[in-house]
């Protein structure tokens, strides 16, 4: 069998603790986004749309839902005879085994997986971001510049630069320095956590890193600095477009609200770059005579009898009469009773909101209220925050 | 476990939906916002644990094949069984079979090879949500050769007049099958039959030069064969004309009719299009409407059904209408009592109004 030019490794083992109870039972990449998707749909759809048909998904934390969701990968057209999607959890070997101890370790432990495809390049992705990106164009740049490593970067506002891993590059795009969350950033080019490595280079550095006892086996902390240290050719590939880390409740809410803007930066309806997602097979949504819907994204299977304003509603949600949902994200199969008021909240999957409940704080800068715990029935006295 | 195989026989279905069936058979007509007529027949079968389904298609089945693909949407992409789209074989000079018996004869291997002991045969015009396992239980208890399924309709409409009706005795045994308008027992073009019995009946019918398996082989054999009647109690629509299509589509806006057809434990499956959720802008005003995914609504929509990917411009008004996939209704256009087939464009400011009892139908890809 012919070898693969580029194989993707998607790091999907993160817990995403800052998403609080949203990730109590599921890994962060399985968190819902945009009325229909899970975060992992974005990198996987990007792979398919970029012509990358071999993806290893490294799982660790709460993998049940993620495993079930990925299945054989047919959702993203990744059910292939040679290649396709493979879920790669930690495993035991004759010489022992154990959890993945870091992002680099997770890939090091799956050298066998990569070896069977004998790729020329390896694309390393994380399952934490919402963006549409052509990895094929980045791979072309990586090959044209004959780089050992190409790191995708995005311009972030200067005042926020100290929250990111910042790449300092020369005029030709060659990376000279890497500062993880610098207090005084020298550039505003943030790493997006998207890397393309020449496989022979990556393999050597992973093997070397595995032998270092003081290493945290992390791409950002260990592998990238080691490569820089050795003056390997590292190029910055500037990405232009929407890219968002949805690592906190607030940023997840904000990213959903971004979709409701006029001509949103992230266009989900472009048929040439579809974001694929598992289909829940529900009938079309129904908007009742008593309903009022303004500035909203609504998915199939919803039945809206109340008022929905500036909100993202996932599939199978019922909003009963005289209830108001405003500036909120309602995840799948939530049942909202009558006379309920929801403001600036994220309601997680399967919640049942009893008649008369008041959730969230309508004032513009208030913290986003998170209602989690699947299947919970909220008493009418449910207080805000 | 009793195994059932399914046949969807489209041979004798007339393409009576005017513009909607110019280029496709009735089974491929879009229905209920995101489905095609045939989705209900196939989903009923797969929900009843039927894993082998043959579709007997004769005319205008290009669109149907495009829709069905390998049957993946219905979980029918299988190694054992699965979906078979079977047009007749015109190449056998010794073939003396006629009418839909040609299908049964040409595809006798499907019946021979299936591991099932029972075959469910249905058309595509009766929209319902039925469990054939229940029908099979009753069929076995009755000891009948064939069990036909019927719906006792409360009110007779024009579509029911063309349908066959059943006379049934006190033991649920069919005594007569006819077109008499006085009977409300509408035969739903669905029956379950023992495989061996079916096989023998097909041979006999061909030997006697018959051309319609149900009419000659089953109806014509009364009272010599035992036909049991199974009454279906759920929501039901017979769609064989534009008028019945339009009226029964509107019925889906009624919550109880809707919920009885789209059951959580017996979903209706269809080809997935991967559309984004529908987008309602600040200027939109939508009431009593069924909306599929991928729509962008800036205008006013009332008492209507929007299929996937429909765009409604600002100030446009849509009432009592059915707008199929990817239509674009530009700013300020007015539509009332209209059915737009796929990919139609109504340019800004245009007005199109049909009669409530006879909607205006615009064929696929037309612009106004």
Its ipTM equals 0.89
pLDDT band at B152 (very low <50, low <70, confident <90, very high): very high
A202 cis-preceded (ω within 30 degrees of 0): no
How far off is chain A from B47, nearest CA to CA, in Å? 13
Torsions phi, psi of B68, nearest 5?
-80, -30
Q: Which pLDDT score, from 0 to 100, does residue B65 have? A: 95
C-beta pairs of B183-186 under 8 Å, 24+ apart in sequence: B184/B152, B184/B153, B184/B154, B184/B156, B185/B150, B185/B151, B185/B152, B185/B229, B186/B150, B186/B151, B186/B152, B186/B153, B186/B160, B186/B238
Dihedral over Cα of B29, B190, B132, B245: its sign: positive
Max Cα separation, chain A?
Answer: 68
* Structural element, H or E, at residue B42: helix B37-47
CA angle B145, B146, B148 (to 5 degrees): 160
Mean pLDDT, rounded, for A277-290: 95
Q: Which of A268, A281, A283 sits opposite B276 (nearest CB)?
A: A268
- Nearest C-alpha of chain B: how many angstroms from A278? 9
Q: What is the pLDDT of residue A382?
A: 43
- State yes or no: pLDDT of A363 exceeds 80: yes
Q: Determine, for residues A285 and B305 on separate chains, whether the beta-carbon distance falls below 8 Å.
A: no
Asked if residue A243 has pLDDT above 50, the reply is yes
Q: Which two tokens stand for residue A57?
A: 């998904």
Q: Looking at residues A176-181, what average pLDDT do you find?
A: 89
At residue B88 the predicted structure's pLDDT band, cuts being 50, 70 and 90, is confident
Q: How far is CA B84 from CA B26, B71, B76, B309, in A?
A: 18, 9, 9, 30
Q: Collapse the DSSP code of B274 into the 3-class scheme (helix H, G, I; strand E, B; otherwise coil) and give the result.
A: coil
- Decide if pLDDT at B76 tops 50: yes
Q: Report CB contact under 8 Å: B288, A287.
A: yes
- The reply to whether residue B274 touches residue A276, judged by beta carbons under 8 angstroms, is yes
In chain A, residues with a C-beta closer than 8 Å to the C-beta of B253 are: 286
Residue A372: what pLDDT?
Answer: 81
Please indicate whether, in this complex, the C-beta atoms of A298 and B291 are within 8 angstroms of each other: yes
B31: pLDDT strictly greater than 90 = yes
Residue A185 has pLDDT above 50, yes or no: yes
* DSSP character string of B201-228: HHHHHHHTT-S-IIIIIIGGGTTTS-EE
> Each residue of A343-357: pLDDT tens digit?
999 999 999 999 999
DSSP H helical ranges for chain A: 41-50, 63-70, 103-108, 111-115, 135-144, 199-211, 224-229, 249-258
Question: A272 CB near a chain B CB, below 8 Å?
Answer: no
Hey, how many other C-beta atoms are within 10 angstroms of the C-beta on A289?
Answer: 11
Residue A373: pLDDT band (50, 70, 90) is low
Q: Grade residue A92 by pLDDT with cuts at 50, 70 and 90.
A: confident
Mean pLDDT in residue range B182-206? 94
Average of per-residue pLDDT across A173-188 = 91
Given this model, what pLDDT does residue A379 score? 42
Mean pLDDT, residues B224-238: 96
Chain A residues with CB under 8 Å of B270 CB are 281
- Return the residue of B nearest to A276 by Cα: B274
Contacting residues of B for A278, CB less than 8 Å apart: none
Percent of chain B whose pLDDT exceeds 90: 84
What pLDDT score was predicted for residue A19? 79
pLDDT at A318: 97
Q: Tokens 């030069």 map to which residue? A: B209
Mean pLDDT of chain B: 94
* Min distance A230 CA to chain B CA atoms (Å): 46
**Per-residue pLDDT, A18:** 78
Residues A12 and A133: their CA atoms lie apart, in Å, by: 18
Interface check for A378 against chain B (CB to CB < 8 A): the answer is no
Q: 3-class DSSP state for residue B305? A: strand
Q: Half-sphere exposure of residue A203, counting CA atoms within 13 Å on the CB side?
A: 14
CB contact under 8 A, B287 and A288: yes
Report the pLDDT averaged over residues A79-98.
89
């Amino acid at each position: 069998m012919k070898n693969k030019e580029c194989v993707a490794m998607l790091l999907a083992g993160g817990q995403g603790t800052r998403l609080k109870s949203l990730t109590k039972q599921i890994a962060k990449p399985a968190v819902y986004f945009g009325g229909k998707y899970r975060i992992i749909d974005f990198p996987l759809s990007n792979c398919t749309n970029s012509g990358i048909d071999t993806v290893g998904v490294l799982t660790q934390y709460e993998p049940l839902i993620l495993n079930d969701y990925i299945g054989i990968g047919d959702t993203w057209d990744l059910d292939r005879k040679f290649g396709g999607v493979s879920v790669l959890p930690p495993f035991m070997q004759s010489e022992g085994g154990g959890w993945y101890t870091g992002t680099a370790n997770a890939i090091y432990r799956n050298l066998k997986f990569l070896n069977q495809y004998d790729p020329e390049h390896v694309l390393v992705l994380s399952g934490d971001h919402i963006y549409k990106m052509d990895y094929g164009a980045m791979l072309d740049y990586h090959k044209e510049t004959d780089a050992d490593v190409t790191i995708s970067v995005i311009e972030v506002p200067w005042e926020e630069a100290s929250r990111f891993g910042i790449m300092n590059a020369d005029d030709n795009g060659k990376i000279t320095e890497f500062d993880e969350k610098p207090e005084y950033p020298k550039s505003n080019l943030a790493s997006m956590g998207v890397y393309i490595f020449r496989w022979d280079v990556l393999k050597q550095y992973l093997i070397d890193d595995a032998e270092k006892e003081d290493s945290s086996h992390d791409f950002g902390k260990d592998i990238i600095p080691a490569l820089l240290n050795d003056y390997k050719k590292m190029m910055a590939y500037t990405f232009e477009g929407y890219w968002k880390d949805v690592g906190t409740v607030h940023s997840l809410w904000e990213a959903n609200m971004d979709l409701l803007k006029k001509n949103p930066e992230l266009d989900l309806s472009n048929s040439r770059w579809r974001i694929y997602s598992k289909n829940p097979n529900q009938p079309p949504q129904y908007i009742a005579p008593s309903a009022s819907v303004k500035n909203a994204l609504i998915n199939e299977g919803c039945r809206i009898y109340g008022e929905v304003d500036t909100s993202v509603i996932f599939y199978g949600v019922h909003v009963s009469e005289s209830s108001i949902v405003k500036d909120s994200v309602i995840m799948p199969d939530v049942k909202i009773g009558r006379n309920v008021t929801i403001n600036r909240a994220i309601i997680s999957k399967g919640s049942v909101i009893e008649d008369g409940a008041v959730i969230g704080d309508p004032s513009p800068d208030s913290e986003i209220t998170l209602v989690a715990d699947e299947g919970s029935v909220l008493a009418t006295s449910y207080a805000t925050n | 476990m009793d195994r059932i195989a399914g046949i969807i026989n489209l041979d004798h279905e007339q393409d009576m939906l005017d513009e909607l069936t110019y280029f496709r058979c009735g089974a491929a007509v879009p229905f209920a916002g995101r489905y095609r007529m045939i989705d209900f027949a196939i989903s009923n079968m797969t929900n009843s644990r039927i894993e082998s389904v043959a579709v007997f298609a004769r005319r205008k089945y290009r669109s149907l094949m495009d829709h069905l693909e390998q049957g993946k949407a219905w979980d029918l992409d299988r190694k054992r069984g699965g979906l078979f789209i079977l047009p007749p074989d015109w190449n056998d000079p010794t073939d003396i079979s006629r009418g839909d018996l040609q299908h049964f004869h040409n595809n006798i291997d499907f019946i021979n090879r299936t591991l099932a002991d029972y075959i469910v045969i249905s058309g595509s015009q009766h929209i319902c949500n039925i469990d054939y396992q229940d029908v099979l239980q009753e069929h076995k208890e009755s000891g009948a050769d064939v069990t036909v399924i019927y719906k006792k309709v409360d009110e007779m409409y024009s579509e029911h007049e063309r349908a066959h009706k059943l006379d049934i005795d006190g033991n649920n045994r069919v005594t007569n099958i006819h077109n008499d308008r006085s009977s409300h027992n509408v035969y739903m073009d669905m029956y379950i039959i023992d495989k061996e019995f079916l096989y023998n009946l097909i041979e006999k019918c061909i030997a006697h030069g018959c051309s319609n398996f149900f009419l000659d082989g089953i109806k014509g054999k009364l009272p010599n064969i035992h036909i049991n009647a199974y009454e279906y109690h759920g929501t039901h629509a017979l769609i064989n004309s534009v008028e019945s299509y339009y009226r029964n589509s509107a019925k889906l806006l009624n919550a109880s009719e809707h919920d009885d057809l789209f059951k959580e434990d017996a979903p209706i499956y269809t080809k997935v299009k991967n559309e984004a959720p529908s987008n309602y802008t600040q200027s939109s005003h939508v009431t009593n409407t069924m909306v599929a995914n991928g729509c962008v609504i800036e205008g006013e929509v009332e008492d209507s059904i929007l299929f996937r990917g429909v765009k409604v411009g600002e100030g446009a008004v849509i009432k009592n209408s059915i707008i199929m996939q990817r239509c674009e209704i530009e700013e300020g256009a007015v539509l009332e009592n209209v059915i737009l087939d796929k990919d139609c464009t109504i340019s800004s400011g245009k007005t199109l109004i049909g009669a409530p009892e006879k909607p205006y139908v615009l064929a696929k890809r037309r612009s106004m």
